[in-house]
Amino acid sequence: MTLIKSISGIRGTIGGKPNDSLSPLDIVKFAGAYSNWLKNNNISDKQLKVVVGRDARPSGEMVNNLIIGTLIASGINVTDLGMATTPTVEFAVTALHADGGIIITASHNPEQWNALKLLNKKGEFLSAADGKQLLEMVENSEYSFVEVDRLGHLQYDNTYTDKHIEAILNLTAVDVKAVRKAGFTIVVDAVNSVGGLAVPRLLAAMGVQFMALNCIPDGQFAHNPEPLPENLAGIAREVAVTGANLGIVVDPDVDRLAIVCEDGSFFGEEYTLVAVADYILNTSRTKNTVSNLSSSRALKDITEQYGGQYYASAVGEVNVVAEMKRVNAVIGGEGNGGIIYPKLHYGRDALVGIALFLSLLAQKKVKCSELRAKYPDYFVSKNKISLTADTNIDEILEQVKCRYSSYRISDIDGVRIDFDKDKKWVHLRKSNTEPIIRIYAEATSATEADALAQEIMCFATRN
């Protein structure tokens, strides 16, 4: 059994003892502390409102009921969206002028997991400072419940998937006319979660013919739900055999987007953001972009081709969003297929990513594989070093930083070293939960990326 508490929420496996799994008691404690945090951060006397939505995993209804009951007992009104994507819940928080939101999803984790993702009144994830404050409330049991005449009220509203889609279609950058004219046929793999509800509706609204693969939202994941090439052999085969124009893959809560080309090859999760940025930068007045330190430099290359400025943030959606706001970025996201388009909302959103990608493909009038071929080729090597619990990881990172001090270095999140002349980089980050250093390296060939990672790992373990 596993339970992980962090500044971004709580997640764990279902079944087991309190404090050792995502038990009903832990869910109630966390929802109660969140209620208290909301009250402490709202000075008005009005009754607060929270939006709740969930993915399709089997434990979702149980967790949903516990959360709603706790919020109501805390004197908070609840709007329950039912099964809804993460970006739909984020969108609904601002549309309903709510005070916060809770998304019940463990994202790409297997179906025995679940989690609470917590939002502020902007429909964005809590900041590190807010998350730390909330964790202290959980540990100190800082929550209380109201008397019967002050209980919150529950309202059901299952219209926000359609409202979210309507808002996407109304975006100037989404070219529905061109997509309809292109006559795309697409295979959709929604891993039997809420993408099976949302993605077909979006495609139908854009006049796209599609074949549904794993689109029954029963939470019985047909394969490992993380949208990586090693988990997507089924849709790759289906796209190639059926002659579809492309395949679309989303994770269980639909904040990550992966594309399969018409020949069954993979567009690359890093390149979802690159392609969408290419499309947006082509017509945008402002040219700034943001991704995190562990994302491909291909976004930097594309941005600079348009005369824009690329910025890197610490890893984590909340950090990407903060940096995007700081530099007024027109597009941003993470290299895991997470696209953030501020003209809709500040959150990773696979649905708006689909609409923008299809608009690009329709306007270019090229095959998906041909579009991918126009972008620079980079290869990422992902590794980790397991250490003993008493290892001083900060000291190791400082030694790496000193060893490579002649190169461009960022230490806002671990240590990233850029070897600009050779178009390669390496990023070292320590885990918040284990004695591990994660090492990502990127270069223009897989061999070179692996060699760079091994060089850094050898130095780190030797010292």
Residue 234: pLDDT over 90? yes
Lowest mean pLDDT among 26-30, 42-46, 151-155, 377-381: 42-46
Domain check: are 446 and 355 in the same one? no
- The answer to whether 441 and 385 are in contact (CB under 8 A) is no
End-of-domain residue from the set 119, 142, 158: 158
Question: Alpha helices, DSSP H only, in 41-125?
Answer: 60-73, 86-95
pLDDT at position 12 is 94
Neighbouring residues of 429: CB distance < 8 A, sequence distance ≥ 6: 294, 315, 413, 414, 437, 438
Neighbouring residues of 371: CB distance < 8 A, sequence distance ≥ 6: 275, 360, 361, 364
What is the average pLDDT across 303-315?
Answer: 96
Domain check: are 309 and 383 in the same one? no
Domain check: are 328 and 351 in the same one? yes
End-of-domain residue from the set 354, 373, 392: 373
pLDDT band at 462 (very low <50, low <70, confident <90, very high): confident
Nearest Cα residue to 322 out of 130, 87, 111: 130
Domain check: are 290 and 314 in the same one? yes
**SS3 call for 326:** helix
Token look-up 């990422």 returns 380
How confident is the model over 404-447, as pLDDT tens digits?
999 999 999 999 999 988 899 999 998 876 788 999 999 999 99
Domain check: are 186 and 310 in the same one? yes
Which CATH number covers residue 332?
3.40.120.10
Catalytic residue set:
107
Domain that holds residue 172: 164-373
What is the total count of domains within the chain? 3
Domain check: are 66 and 81 in the same one? yes
What is the average pLDDT across 64-87?
Answer: 98
End-of-domain residue from the set 373, 404, 432: 373
pLDDT at position 433 is 66
